[in-house]
DNA sequence: AATTTAAATGTAAGGTTTACACTTAAAATT
DNA sequence: AATTTTAAGTGTAAACCTTACATTTAAATT
């Protein structure tokens, strides 16, 4: 079945920009790896790997994420294909980047330790190998675009969340402040949050009510023409 | 320099979704090819090709477009990387799609004829090989997103254009009608169109004034924080 | 001179976005 | 028990943007 024999073949990799949110420090973090092999041994890099024969690009991205975090069925999205001839000095490698959104507390810490993976704030990232810094920059722009038009920010938070936490998350993603009353008005007016009879009491005396993202309601609204939009000031 | 010797290599292709606008029929068209080789010989396909050793993905896309149309320095943008294991029955091929915007009258007709390329309206596309129909669908969504936030619609029109033509283009891209007065108000209020002292007289007795996209002005505005936005009703 | 055709134009109502400051709940302190 | 402290929670008015909508104008044709 090899019909295109005269053409050159290349290594194809997938690199994962794994976003987490640190609810205490109010910072978006990336899961980065101290590289254990050359080229770039000892340097910081994204989690990546070569595509196997029996898997699609999406499958490869899921496998890489699972191996590092233990997580299955996480929100993932392809970001961009990088194909400069010299982007990896080891060989010609075409790399497709994916970004993933995960709740930091869900990950398997044994696995991350084993792989020398560490959470680093996007506000002060180390230099990354190859074109990985460009991949991160692009993925962050993608993320900003996504959280505006889809309720994917919830992927980065625990199931029970306060509006204070949700706003802080958006502020961390956009890296600017948001007006509290306007933010609440907008998100609540969508009718996709369920208010719980329980308060988060760690961070204040008064306590903040927990809410839960109501996926069923969101799906129904979407079907009837509703578009999530959090255009935030 | 081959440091990753144990991994499988794959063919990497680029497929181009070449959008043109038929100003008379008021339709977005795609430049499609009757495939001259197997698999899929005789079927319709996008213009595509394998990535050469000495070229990036972007370079490959430019080369493919140039070979088919004779055009250089055309608006092109990566759309998506397709990597299902069985997407091409001939072999495992990872394909990165690009979309291009060109003014139909600019192309070299000899080249397109030679390559069995034909313009087909997106409103009634034939079946395409492999996953090319999915590529088109995604690229059209990308295009709709782009023309809303960037002045790239002009790439599909002659340098001198009327507001009637520009509106018809947007209607063709969005596949719905737009209010004339609101459309004009919005596009003119951006201050990026220069009104010429000349009328287009083919399509009406009164004639419609020609305008020209003023790239310098747009670049200056953009630098001072302006964002193109044609949110059209 | 009258008719035909498509281009060009303005406004008011409705809706959304923005800016902004005080009250409340509950724990901690006196 | 009263007071203080801290962060959560709340509403409104002005400015701005979006939408809906119908008549006039220019020029060719009859």
Q: How many CB atoms lie within 10 A of CB A149?
A: 12
Is the domain of A97 the same as that of A196?
Answer: no
Q: How far is B56 from chain A (nearest CA, A)?
A: 5
User: pLDDT for B189-216, tens place per residue?
Assistant: 999 999 999 999 999 999 999 999 999 9
Q: Which residues contact A39 (CB under 8 A, 6 or more apart)?
A: A88, A89, A90, A129, B3
Q: Give me the domain span that covers residue A213.
A: 157-223
Last residue of a domain, which of A149, A181, A213? A149
Does B232 reside within a domain? no
For chain B, how are helix, strand and coil distributed in percent, rounded to 5?
Answer: 35, 30, 35
- Calculate the CA A217 to chain-centre distance: 24
Is the domain of A19 the same as that of A125?
Answer: yes
| Separation of alpha carbons B185 and B193, rounded Å | 12
| Separation of alpha carbons A100 and A79, rounded Å | 10
Q: Residue A91 is part of a domain; what is its CATH number?
A: 3.90.79.10
Does B218 reside within a domain? yes
Is the domain of B124 the same as that of B206?
Answer: no
Q: How far is A87 from chain B (nearest CA, A)?
A: 10
pLDDT at A59: 98
Q: Residue B195 is part of a domain; what is its CATH number?
A: 1.10.10.10
The model's confidence at residue A130, banded by pLDDT at 50, 70 and 90, is very high
Does B233 reside within a domain? no
Residue B57 near chain A (CB below 8 Å) = yes
Nearest CA in chain A to B95: A81
Contacts of B91 in chain A (CB under 8 A): 1-4
| Separation of alpha carbons B138 and B125, rounded Å | 14
CB within 8 Å: B7 and A50: yes
Does A1 reside within a domain? no
- The model's pTM: 0.95
Last residue of a domain, which of A130, A149, A168? A149
Q: How many CB atoms lie within 10 A of CB B166?
A: 21
Is the domain of B26 the same as that of B101?
Answer: yes
pLDDT at A19: 98
Is the domain of A104 the same as that of A193?
Answer: no
Is the domain of A140 the same as that of A162?
Answer: no
How many domains are there within chain A? 2
Is the domain of B121 the same as that of B77?
Answer: yes
pLDDT at B5: 81
B166, B70 Cβ separation under 8 angstroms:
no
| Separation of alpha carbons B59 and B66, rounded Å | 10
Residue A50 near chain B (CB below 8 Å) = yes
Percent of chain B surpassing pLDDT 70: 99
Cα B75-B80-B83 angle, rounded to 5 deg? 145
Does B55 reside within a domain? yes
DSSP state of A187: H
pLDDT at A152: 98
**Any idea which residue has 């990985």 for tokens?**
A132
Is the domain of B20 the same as that of B117?
Answer: yes
Q: Is the pLDDT score of A3 beyond 80?
A: no
User: pLDDT for A54-97, tens place per residue?
Assistant: 999 999 999 999 999 999 999 999 999 999 999 999 999 999 99
User: pLDDT for A203-225, tens place per residue?
Assistant: 999 999 999 999 999 999 999 99
Does B6 reside within a domain? no
In chain C, which nucleotides are within 7 Å of a protein Cβ? 4-11, 17-21, 24-28
pLDDT at B226: 92
Does A232 reside within a domain? no
| Separation of alpha carbons A201 and A207, rounded Å | 4
CB within 8 Å: B12 and A57: no
| Separation of alpha carbons B171 and A41, rounded Å | 53
Is the domain of A145 the same as that of A166?
Answer: no
User: pLDDT for B134-192, tens place per residue?
Assistant: 999 999 999 999 999 999 999 999 999 999 999 999 999 999 999 999 999 999 999 99
Q: Is the pLDDT score of B100 beyond 90?
A: yes
pLDDT at A131: 98
User: pLDDT for B61-88, tens place per residue?
Assistant: 999 999 999 999 999 999 999 999 999 9
pLDDT at B1: 55
Is the domain of B24 the same as that of B131?
Answer: yes
Q: How far is B11 from chain A (nearest CA, A)?
A: 5
CB within 8 Å: A3 and B56: no
Is the domain of A132 the same as that of A20?
Answer: yes
User: pLDDT for A16-51, tens place per residue?
Assistant: 999 999 999 999 999 999 988 888 888 999 999 999
Does A76 reside within a domain? yes
The strand ranges marked E within chain A are: 11-22, 27-34, 44-45, 47-50, 75-82, 93-101, 117-121, 160-162, 193-200, 208-213
Assigned token pair, A52: 């196997």
Is the domain of A163 the same as that of A52?
Answer: no
Label residue A73 left, alpha or beta by phi (over 0 means left) and psi (-120 to 50 means alpha). left
Residue B80 near chain A (CB below 8 Å) = yes
B191, B217 Cβ separation under 8 angstroms:
yes
**Any idea which residue has 């050159």 for tokens?**
A8
pLDDT at A2: 66
| Separation of alpha carbons A102 and A114, rounded Å | 19
């Amino acid at each position: 079945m090899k019909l295109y024999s005269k053409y050159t073949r290349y290594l194809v990799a997938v690199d994962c920009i794994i976003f987490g949110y640190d609810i205490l420090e109010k910072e978006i973090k990336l899961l980065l790896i101290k590289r254990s092999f050359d080229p770039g041994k000892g340097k910081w890099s994204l989690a990546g790997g070569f595509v196997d024969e029996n898997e699609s690009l999406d499958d490869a991205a899921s496998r890489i994420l699972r191996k590092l975090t233990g997580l299955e069925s996480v929100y993932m999205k392809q970001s961009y294909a990088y194909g400069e001839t010299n982007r990896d000095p080891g060989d010609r490698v075409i790399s497709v980047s994916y970004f993933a959104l995960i709740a930091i507390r869900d990950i398997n810490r044994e696995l991350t330790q084993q792989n020398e993976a560490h959470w680093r704030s996007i506000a002060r990232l180390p230099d990354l190998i190859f074109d990985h810094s460009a991949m991160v920059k692009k993925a962050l722009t993608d993320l900003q675009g996504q959280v505006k038009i889809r309720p994917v920010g919830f992927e980065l938070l625990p199931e029970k969340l306060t509006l204070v936490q949700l706003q802080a998350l958006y502020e961390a993603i956009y890296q600017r402040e948001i007006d509290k009353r306007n933010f609440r008005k907008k998100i609540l007016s969508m009718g996709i949050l369920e208010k719980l009879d329980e308060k988060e009491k760690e961070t204040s005396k008064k306590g903040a009510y927990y809410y839960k993202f109501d996926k069923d309601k969101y799906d129904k609204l979407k079907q009837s023409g509703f578009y999530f939009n959090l255009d935030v000031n």
